[in-house]
Structure 1
């Protein structure tokens, strides 16, 4: 009988792995993801200044002392608006330098596992590394359980029924745009809530969906919170918060 390590497979020299580590609970990693976290030469991860980095925190039980780690620290978070040219300049330069650091390891024949919260190809910083490196280095992307999937599961909220169409919207959109899109959807997930919570709540109410909306904070993590959005009276949520609007299609 094959061992779990045989099933998961090991890392190949000089290869970049985008490893989806799921929504927060380490038990939701795939076998492939867990195997690579344990076998890559370098464990790389993004983090905000002064913080551990959530992707790194998730895989802590899988990392032995002494592992070679590459911390990629964002130069800024919310100090500068995303639309500001200064933000775009600084973050583009950061991604270039991060890609150069990863590339150096790959050229030296080391495998690099870049951790990604949720799924690497879904609103993830990994995509910026993939775009810069996939032409010059072997890359394997390991899918992960998305944050929204973890949230609707923990909220006990089936998100789509029958022919429901799911819309995924960023809370950074203008209030009128959010309200218009929500008014035309069957089911919705609103991400990037954070400081946008009051605006998003108003847009949902304007679309007539407030009674169906659920606020989920840190889904699958130890300190998760799930409450009806109508009961949320605070001004902002943490980075790991989203709003679910389950569909109401035909349930057989």
Structure 2
């Protein structure tokens, strides 16, 4: 019998936002895999470092930090085979994933490669969107309003078209796209409702009106424009 593949959502970064189920699985784990940069520590691993038992086998999934389009398919192909070789022995594998595994989560790329071959369980986590609105102290949508979640990496015309037809908007993956997003929202007259949040739930968290945001934004940041009914 093969082992089970677990995709664990770890939440946005604060270890106290880890679910009880994720904590239990990590504390009992024999094999743990996680995304890691090619230099520096893994953010996913750092969230739960205090809960990882001694002697656990670790499988870092090294993602090169460069500007090419992600995911790097060959990285996930290789990682999937490494994990499959463990599952075939009957051992479970815990895969750590920042935020929620299926909300822009890296685990989805392993899921697509392995879920049809091995028993798989996904453990949801607090998403970055939930953490951002909590950090901002900001209700996002109410009643019949529609929320649109957009990656800032969309071409400017497509991003603008999506924002124009939305009641409320969350724009993720800011990084180098921040100036484009800020200019777009200003041009649409939405900047006065927009809130900027970076590093939600972490000690360096920042939450402020878009007009007061810094000139540059880290990748782990978001701009939200709440629906008008959310304040009524």
Q: Normalized against structure 1, the TM-score is what?
A: 0.87
Tell me what 1:163 maps to.
144
Check 1:14–1:166 CA distance in 2 against 1; reply closer, same or farther (3 A cut): same
CA contact (8 A) 2:139 2:231 kept: no
Cα distance in 2, alignment partners of residues 203 and 53 from structure 1: 33
Tell me what 2:22 maps to.
33
Range moving further from structure 2, 182-191 or 242-251:
242-251
Cα RMSD of the aligned pairs, angstroms, is 1.7
Cα distance in 1, alignment partners of residues 214 and 47 from structure 2: 29
Tell me what 1:42 maps to.
31
Cα distance in 2, alignment partners of residues 227 and 152 from structure 1: 11
Consecutive unaligned residues in structure 1, runs of 5 or more: 1-11
Tell me what 1:6 maps to.
none
| SS at structure 1 position matched to 2:192 | helix
Structure 1 residue 51: deviation in Å?
2.1
Consecutive unaligned residues in structure 2, runs of 5 or more: none
CA contact (8 A) 2:2 2:118 kept: no
Structure 1 residue 13: deviation in Å?
6.6
| SS at structure 1 position matched to 2:79 | helix
Tell me what 2:220 maps to.
240
Confirm whether residue 116 of structure 1 aligns to residue 104 of structure 2: no
Tell me what 1:96 maps to.
77
Deviations 1:149-177 (A, max 9, x none): 01110110011111111100000011121
Q: After the TM superposition, which parts of structure 1 deviate over 6 Å for at least 4 consecutive aligned residues?
A: none
Tell me what 1:153 maps to.
134
Tell me what 1:17 maps to.
6
Cα distance in 2, alignment partners of residues 78 and 227 from structure 1: 29
Count, aligned residues: 232
Check 1:26–1:191 CA distance in 2 against 1; reply closer, same or farther (3 A cut): same
Deviations 1:182-201 (A, max 9, x none): 12111111111111000111
Confirm whether residue 219 of structure 1 aligns to residue 200 of structure 2: yes
Confirm whether residue 59 of structure 1 aligns to residue 48 of structure 2: yes
CA contact (8 A) 1:193 1:241 kept: yes
- In the TM superposition, 1:166-205 aligns within 5 A as 166-205=147-186
Structure 1 residue 145: deviation in Å?
0.6
CA contact (8 A) 1:45 1:70 kept: yes
Q: Normalized against structure 2, the TM-score is what?
A: 0.95
Cα distance in 2, alignment partners of residues 29 and 55 from structure 1: 11
CA contact (8 A) 2:152 2:172 kept: yes
